[in-house]
């Protein structure tokens, strides 16, 4: 981390977390943050679900909910970025405060509740986004007061699908009441059928991903794997935030919401490895949860992930973390004799089962 980044993080950590997040986005859009540009190499470049990635280190949804900083984020060292979540209609989300730093645990708890400016505004920004080698995707959400939440996902895809490279069905956020109920076998199958029907109407059909929770039982996970394979989704993102509070030390540990960051690493990686077994390598997996070092990214890949995503660790390590992890991962691949990241996928899965 350079001195500018360290000083900036120090200042941001002195103010309310949600306001600090907004300021970090503003700094990016104003060009105040030094950016490394695209990070790639022969070892890092890979193809996942039909997408050519310069490197397998992505940005998870939630950082840029309203697609306001796509250009700078494409130059921040990520191999792909995901914006959103977007809902059909704008909604304010849950009352503030709703974001809490757990510095002792290198974690965060949020209960945002899909706050965003709505599909129309986000679609307009996506239509004007710069093009380049870094794929841009959108996380699809549902309005809290919707009478048909399953239909909401298809509606957002219809509005924004023409302007993105992939879309993620997010039924795993713990902050919209009963949203996770859509992960059940019948509900998930029906929801994905509607989304896939909408995708077929796009002039340029795009890959559709499914994002799951880390708190699923073994039986639930088996159902999700079966439905994902049958539905034709192109990849699964494992995982979203957890409701667990096991082992936390910070004073905010009992706040309601989803926990992300370092405490999630082991839980999410075990779910990832198990899902890799259940899908028998027939579906690319994207590993998310607790990654803050190149070695942790490498562990996710060896557990079965074809790519990974970051978010919470940047609260403590800065936006430059993506490039540092990509470069470090390149070195780890070389040191372990892998000519390409795809060759390492799943090679350490047994360690997590």
| Phi, psi values for residue 134, rounded to 5° | -100, 110
Alpha carbon of 138 to those of 46, 141, 188, 197, 295: distances in Å? 20, 10, 19, 18, 27
Alpha helices in 161-312, H assignment, sequence order = 185-201, 218-231, 265-278, 294-303
Helix (H, G, I), strand (E, B) or coil at 146: coil
Nearest to 302 by CA among 282, 329, 325: 329
Does the active-site annotation cover 292?
no
The structure tokens listed for 225 are 């794997």
Burial (Cβ within 10 Å: 0-12, 13-18, ≥19) of residue 270: middle
Calpha distance 33→320 (Å, rounded): 9
Categorise residue 346: left if φ over 0, alpha if ψ from -120 to 50, beta otherwise.
left
**C-alpha dihedral over 105, 106, 111, 112, to 10 degrees?**
170
* 330 in Cβ contact with 321 (< 8 Å): no
- Active-site residue among 173, 231, 276, 292? 173
Angle (CA) 351-282-181 rounded to 5° is: 85
> How would you classify the pairing of strands 46-48 and 51-53?
antiparallel
Distance of CA 313 to the CA centre of its chain: 13
* Region for residue 348 given its phi and psi (left: phi exceeds 0; alpha: psi -120 to 50; beta: otherwise): alpha
Annotated active-site positions, please?
173
């Amino acid at each position: 981390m350079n001195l500018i980044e360290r000083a900036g993080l120090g200042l941001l950590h002195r103010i309310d977390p949600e306001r600090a997040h907004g300021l970090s986005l503003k700094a990016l859009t104003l060009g105040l943050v030094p950016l490394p540009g695209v990070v790639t190499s022969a070892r890092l470049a890979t193809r996942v679900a039909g997408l050519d990635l310069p490197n397998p280190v992505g940005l998870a949804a939630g950082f840029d909910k309203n697609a306001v900083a796509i250009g700078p984020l494409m130059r921040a060292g990520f191999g792909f970025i995901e914006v959103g979540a977007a809902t059909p209609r704008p909604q304010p989300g849950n009352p503030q405060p709703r974001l809490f730093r757990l510095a002792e645990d290198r974690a965060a708890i949020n209960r945002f509740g899909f706050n965003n400016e709505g599909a129309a505004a986000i679609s307009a920004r996506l239509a004007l986004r710069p093009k380049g080698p870094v794929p841009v995707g959108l996380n699809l959400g549902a309005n809290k007061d919707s009478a048909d939440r399953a239909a909401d996902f298809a509606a957002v895809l219809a509005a924004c699908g023409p302007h993105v490279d992939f879309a993620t069905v997010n039924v795993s956020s713990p902050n919209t009441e009963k949203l996770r109920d859509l992960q059940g076998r019948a509900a998930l199958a029906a929801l994905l059928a509607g989304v896939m029907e909408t995708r077929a109407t796009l002039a340029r059909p795009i890959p559709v991903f499914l994002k799951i929770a880390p708190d699923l039982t073994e039986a639930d996970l088996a159902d999700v794997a079966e439905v994902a394979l049958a539905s034709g989704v192109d990849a699964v993102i494992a995982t979203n935030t957890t409701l667990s509070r096991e082992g936390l030390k910070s004073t905010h540990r009992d706040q309601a919401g989803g926990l992300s960051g370092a405490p999630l690493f082991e839980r999410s990686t075990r779910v990832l490895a198990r899902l890799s077994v259940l899908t028998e390598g027939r579906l690319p997996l994207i590993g998310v949860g607790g990654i803050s070092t190149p070695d942790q990214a490498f562990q996710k890949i060896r557990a079965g992930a074809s790519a990974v995503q970051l978010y919470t660790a940047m609260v403590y390590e800065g936006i430059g973390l993506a490039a540092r992890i990509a470069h470090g991962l390149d070195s780890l691949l070389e040191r372990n004799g892998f000519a390409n990241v795809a060759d390492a996928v799943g090679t350490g899965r047994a360690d997590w089962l």
